[in-house]
Amino acid sequence: MNHQTVIQVKNLTKYYGNRLGIKNLNFEAKAGEIFGFLGPNGAGKTTTIRLMLDLLKPTSGSLELMGLELPQNSLEIRKRTGYLPGDFTAYQHLTVEEFISFISSIRRLAGKPESKLIDLLSFRNNLNHRIKHLSHGNRQKLGIIQTFIHNPELVILDEPTTGLDPIVQEEFYDFLEEYRDQGNTIFFSSHNLPEVEKICHRVAIIREGTLVALETLEHLKKKRYRRLKLILSHPIPELAFEGAELIKSHNLEFEFLIKGDLAPILKKIATLPVRDIVLPEPDLEEVFLYYYRGKDEQ
């Protein structure tokens, strides 16, 4: 294994009884990158993460994190890894300060840890609150703080921005980029395509337990389809664009699927009697349906 490879997953398969979790997963994440792991709910993202943390036992295949094999080096790996679960829950009856002190002790951190994130996430006022009294957003902030409290080399984040307001989200993305610049690796699992596009270098896309793509962001963006919805003010004899496919039409509403450059299409639209124009963000299912349609047809 290359010494720069922080995560190496080889032929990883997990069955829950007869039910497939993930099948023959292969990918690598390098040191100093934010690696996106994208897939709809139930695709196998959390299963993969739990296998990386030795919470689940693989049916077959192997995992190496930071050059250490699982499960033999499970403790050492978890010592050097920070993890934010998808649905972060901590001990409800503890105060935030007690919880931080609990994990500091478990992680054998010397002294009282002072995370930069407490101020970045405007969390200082919550330190004396009981966890059960925190709002969903504040609980998620606590989850983020505990993930980074020991400055881990590898950070595994499962849907980290759930419940965070947009301003805090942006600050968190900046923090992640700064953290990555220090040479750390971030494994960023999400079902939110724009979020992954914003901060990740490379993206693995998983669907129904199988890896369907492993791309750099530039490549992903080039190949990606977009939807365009046009509402005309009055009917015209013919409506078509080069490089766009009409997928839906109803009265004066038309929906196109566009691959490639938008500019010539927008130029043509400017000449039409348009009442409204919408460019919705594609959801993941659309990415799977359309982005890989060409591949399936081949």
Partner 1 sequence: MNSNLTYPLYILKVHRGLIIFSMVLVAFFQFLIIWLMSSINYVPIMEAILNQLPPQMKIIFNQEFMNRLSIDGAAAFGFNHPIVLMVLGIVAIILPTRHIAGEIEAGTLELLLSYPVSRSRLNISLALSSATILIAIIVAGWIGSFSALIIFNHFSMEMFGQLIKIGLILWILLCLITNYSLLISVYGREAGKSGLRSAGITLIFYFLNFIATLWESLEFTQVINPFHYYQPQKLMFGEQSFILDAVVLLSATIFFFIIAYLHFSRRDIP
Instruction: Report the interface residues with partner 1, using CB under 8 A.
Output: 16, 50, 53-57, 74-76, 78-79, 81, 83, 85, 87-93, 102-103, 105-108
Joined together, the tokens standing for residue 23 give 């099948």
Tell me which H or E stretch contains 36.
Answer: strand 34-38
- Local structure of 189: helix, strand or coil: strand
Whichever of 138 and 290 has its CB closer to partner 1, that residue is 138
User: Nearest-5° angle of CA 49, CA 50, CA 54?
Assistant: 120
CB of 96 to partner 1, least distance (A): 15
CB of 131 to partner 1, least distance (A): 10
Of 159, 154, 137, whose CA–CA distance to 66 is shortest? 154
Whichever of 86 and 137 has its CB closer to partner 1, that residue is 86
Residue owning tokens 């009697």: 273
CB of 264 to partner 1, least distance (A): 50
Whichever of 49 and 164 has its CB closer to partner 1, that residue is 49
Calpha distance 175→160 (Å, rounded): 13
Whichever of 93 and 234 has its CB closer to partner 1, that residue is 93
Calpha distance 283→288 (Å, rounded): 9
Whichever of 78 and 202 has its CB closer to partner 1, that residue is 78
Q: Beta partners for 158?
A: 189
